[in-house]
Amino acid sequence: MRKIVTIHEKKVWSTYVQKAFKYDFYHTWYYHSLDKSGLPILFIYQEKEDYIAFPLLKRSIPGSDFYDFTSVYGYAGPISNVDFKLLDDDFMERFKNSFLEFLKKGKSVSVFSRLHPFFDQIPLMEKFKGVHSNGKTVAIDLTMPIETQRSVYRRSFKEKIKWLRKHDYKVKMSTKIEDASLFFEIYTENMKRVGAKDYYLFSKSYFIDLLASEEFESKLFFVYKNGIAVSGAVVICTNKIMQLHLLATRTAHLMESPAKLLTDEITIIGRQMGYEYFNLGGGVNFKEDSLFGWKVGFSNLFFEFNSWRFIADVNKYNTLLDERSIDHHAEVDFFPLYRSFSVQHN
């Protein structure tokens, strides 16, 4: 049985997610309701009690009557009520055939989905081909002793954290919705300083809505100096995993690196609350850049991060490239290529 659950069916969407063997907040109805870049849907393939659910965002392709799909910001991909390692091969094949039929009937050209580094989604997605390696994410195992965790910190990080504590930098956790405005202020300043694209700029209401969710726990962490919040993070917690969703520091305090103390303190609080992993994520656009290098300063535990890049209608995909005068073989890490503005303007 195939079923398409829309964002207007909150109860149904939430039921499928909550019954999954593994899921993260990225899969929830509430998190999808915050994304305005497309129409959120939950594709369901089900046989008796067993199912595979795939959350996606449906988008119209400008200048055509065709569509494509993408995923929300973060780590998503398919989920199931059965451990992916135990899914029957024939069941996965039938899911594949049903999904391909859905794409064909819906005049869909391509699908892009970020996959979850902690889940075993690859065997299923390899049925289609199109699994693309995006590098690694950095995580901290919160089940190990804190002394063992800190033993792998970069030496300069250890020294800086010690210095920050000595100079009365304090970390506080908050779940107060009014504190969303404070993080918004710090985050927006941070993003403007680094010249971030609009994709990474979020409204104040976005942070307020994150804290208001009943489907997952959102927490704000701030570093204070002399009563002023100088750095902050949004951490979202689901099923034993803490996700570092966003992190920012005021420009005037960059040299003190308060985010190092913030990261260490979050792991202490996470342990106390029973979480098993603190996922720091990867670099900007999946690259092993300076941000990735900063995260590696805390841990040598890596998870493979992949995306699924699937062309459902090859002829239409190539036609869209031709209409936009885009080289079919352009060496640009962007999918689908017909939506790459950087290529169009080169």
pLDDT at 343: 44
Q: Provide the angle, in degrees to the nearest 10, between the axes of the packed helices 204-212 and 180-194.
A: 140
pLDDT of 289 over the 90 cut: no
Total Cβ atoms within 10 A of residue 253: 18
pLDDT at 194: 82
- In terms of Cα–Cα distance, which of 48, 52, 58 is closest to 125? 52
What is the number of helices (H) and of strands (E) in the chain?
Answer: 12, 13
57 contacts 39 by C-beta, under 8 angstroms:
yes
Query: Is residue 94 exposed (0-12), middle (13-18) or buried (19+ Cβ within 10 Å)?
Result: middle
The mean pLDDT of 42-53, rounded to a whole number, is 97
CA distance 119 to 111: 19
Query: Would you report the helix, strand and coil content of the chain in percent, each value rounded to 5?
Result: 40, 30, 30
CA distances to 217, 221, 229 from 243, rounded to whole Å, are: 11, 13, 21
pLDDT at 288: 77
pLDDT digits (tens, 9 = 90+) for 66-77: 999 999 999 999
CA distance 328 to 255: 44
pLDDT of 179 over the 60 cut: yes
**Structural domains present in the chain:** 2-129 (3.40.630.30), 137-304 (3.40.630.30)
Label residue 342 by pLDDT band (50, 70, 90). very low
pLDDT digits (tens, 9 = 90+) for 195-211: 877 777 889 999 999 99
Query: Which token pair is 187?
Result: 């985050």
**β 108-114/67-70 pair status:** parallel
Label residue 346 by pLDDT band (50, 70, 90). very low
Share of the chain above pLDDT 70, in %: 98
Higher pLDDT, 345 or 36: 36
Q: Kindly report the CA angle at 326 between 320 and 329, in degrees rounded to 5?
A: 105
Share of the chain above pLDDT 90, in %: 87
pLDDT digits (tens, 9 = 90+) for 242-261: 999 999 999 999 999 999 99
Type and span of the H or E element at 93: helix 89-105
Three-state SS at 241? strand
What φ, ψ does residue 168 adopt, rounded to 5°?
A: 65, 35
pLDDT at 283: 77
pLDDT at 144: 96
pLDDT of 335 over the 80 cut: yes
pTM (2 d.p.): 0.91
The mean pLDDT of 334-345, rounded to a whole number, is 74
CA distance 301 to 303: 7
Higher pLDDT, 251 or 287: 251
pLDDT at 286: 67
**Average pLDDT of every residue of the chain:** 94
pLDDT at 330: 87
Range with the poorest average pLDDT among 158-172, 222-236, 325-339: 325-339
The reply to whether omega before 258 is within 30° of 0 (cis) is no
Q: Kindly report the CA angle at 145 between 302 and 169, in degrees rounded to 5?
A: 85
Long-range contacts formed by 238-241: CB under 8 A, 24+ apart: 238/23, 238/24, 238/25, 239/22, 239/23, 239/24, 240/274, 240/275, 240/276, 240/277, 241/24, 241/118, 241/275, 241/276, 241/277, 241/279
